[in-house]
Amino acid sequence: MSSTLNEFMPPVDLYTLWPWFLSVAAVLGVRWLFSVPRKLQHIPRVPVIPTLLSYARGEVEDVRIKKLLLPYANRGEPAILVYSLGRWMVHILDRKIAKDLSADIITYPKEVPPDGLLLWRFVGYENIILSDGETWKRHSRVVKTALNRNVPVGEFAALAKKLFSQMGEGGTTAIGHNFDAIADGNSPFVRQYNHVMESIASPPYLVAPMLEKIFPRVKTIKAIDDLVASFQTILAHKKENPGNDMLTYMMEDKEMTDVEYRDNIVVFFIAGHDTTAGAMSSLCYYMAKRPEVQKRAREEVRRAMSKNPTGEPTIAELGKMPYLQACICEFLRVNTPITYMVPRAAMKDAVLVGANGRKVLIPQGSSIIINITSIHYKEEYWPNAHEFNPERFMGISKGQETEYDTTQWLPFALGSRMCPARNFAMYEQRVLASMLLNEWEWTISSDSPHMDGIENGFSPFALSLPKDLYLNFTPLARK
List Cβ neighbours of 319 (8 Å cut-off, separation of 6 or more). 397
H or E stretch at 441: strand 440-443
> Could you tell me the CA-to-CA distances from 368 to 77, 140, 347, 470 in Å, in that order?
15, 22, 11, 36
Structural contact between residues 385 and 322, judged by C-beta atoms closer than 8 angstroms: no
Binding of ligand HEM by 411 (CB under 6 A): yes
Structural contact between residues 453 and 444, judged by C-beta atoms closer than 8 angstroms: no
H or E stretch at 344: strand 344-345
Question: Of the listed pieces 159-167, 186-194, 354-362, 416-424, which binds ligand HEM according to CB under 6 A?
Answer: 416-424
- Least CB distance to ligand HEM at residue 335 (A): 10
Binding of ligand HEM by 333 (CB under 6 A): no
Q: Which CB sits closer to ligand HEM, 48 or 435? A: 435
Provide the 3-class DSSP secondary structure of residue 391.
helix
Nearest 5 degrees, angle CA 81-CA 83-CA 84? 125
Q: Which CB sits closer to ligand HEM, 223 or 392? A: 392
Question: Of the listed pieces 72-80, 221-229, 293-301, 336-344, which binds ligand HEM according to CB under 6 A?
Answer: 336-344
Q: Which CB sits closer to ligand HEM, 107 or 472? A: 107
| Binder among 179, 404, 412, 461 for ligand HEM (CB under 6 A) | 412
- Least CB distance to ligand HEM at residue 266 (A): 11
Structural contact between residues 339 and 463, judged by C-beta atoms closer than 8 angstroms: yes
Structural contact between residues 448 and 470, judged by C-beta atoms closer than 8 angstroms: yes
Binding of ligand HEM by 342 (CB under 6 A): yes
| DSSP designation for 127 | S
Cα Rg of the chain (Å, integer)? 25
Query: How many C-beta atoms lie closer than 10 Å to residue 57's C-beta?
Result: 10
Q: Which CB sits closer to ligand HEM, 152 or 311? A: 152
Site for ligand HEM in 210-269 (CB under 6 A): 267-268
Provide the 3-class DSSP secondary structure of residue 292.
helix
Long-range pairs of 25-33 with CB within 8 A, sequence gap ≥ 24: none
Structural contact between residues 82 and 69, judged by C-beta atoms closer than 8 angstroms: yes
| Binder among 92, 208, 425, 435 for ligand HEM (CB under 6 A) | 425
Overall size of the chain counted in residues: 479
- Least CB distance to ligand HEM at residue 25 (A): 39
- Least CB distance to ligand HEM at residue 77 (A): 21
List Cβ neighbours of 75 (8 Å cut-off, separation of 6 or more). none
The Cα 101–Cα 352 span in angstroms is 9
Identify the bridge partners of residue 92 per DSSP, sorted by sequence position: 79, 370
Binding of ligand HEM by 140 (CB under 6 A): yes
Binding of ligand HEM by 304 (CB under 6 A): no
Binding of ligand HEM by 128 (CB under 6 A): yes
| Binder among 65, 228, 279, 293 for ligand HEM (CB under 6 A) | 279
- Least CB distance to ligand HEM at residue 265 (A): 10
Provide the 3-class DSSP secondary structure of residue 381.
coil
Answer yes or no: is 419 a known binding residue. Answer: yes
Q: Which CB sits closer to ligand HEM, 129 or 181? A: 129
Binding of ligand HEM by 421 (CB under 6 A): yes
The Cα 472–Cα 479 span in angstroms is 21
Q: Which CB sits closer to ligand HEM, 80 or 247? A: 247
| Binder among 51, 84, 275, 366 for ligand HEM (CB under 6 A) | 275
| Binder among 151, 413, 443, 467 for ligand HEM (CB under 6 A) | 413
Residues 306, 308, 310, 311: what is their CA dihedral angle, to the nearest 10 degrees?
-40
Question: Of the listed pieces 24-32, 162-170, 338-346, 389-397, which binds ligand HEM according to CB under 6 A?
Answer: 338-346
Question: Of the listed pieces 24-32, 111-119, 275-283, 307-315, which binds ligand HEM according to CB under 6 A?
Answer: 275-283
Binding of ligand HEM by 354 (CB under 6 A): no
User: Which residues carry a binding-site annotation for heme?
Assistant: 419
Binding residues vs ligand HEM (CB under 6 A) = 128-129, 140, 143, 267-268, 271-272, 275-276, 279, 337-338, 341-342, 411-413, 417, 419-421, 424-425
User: Which residues carry a binding-site annotation?
Assistant: 419
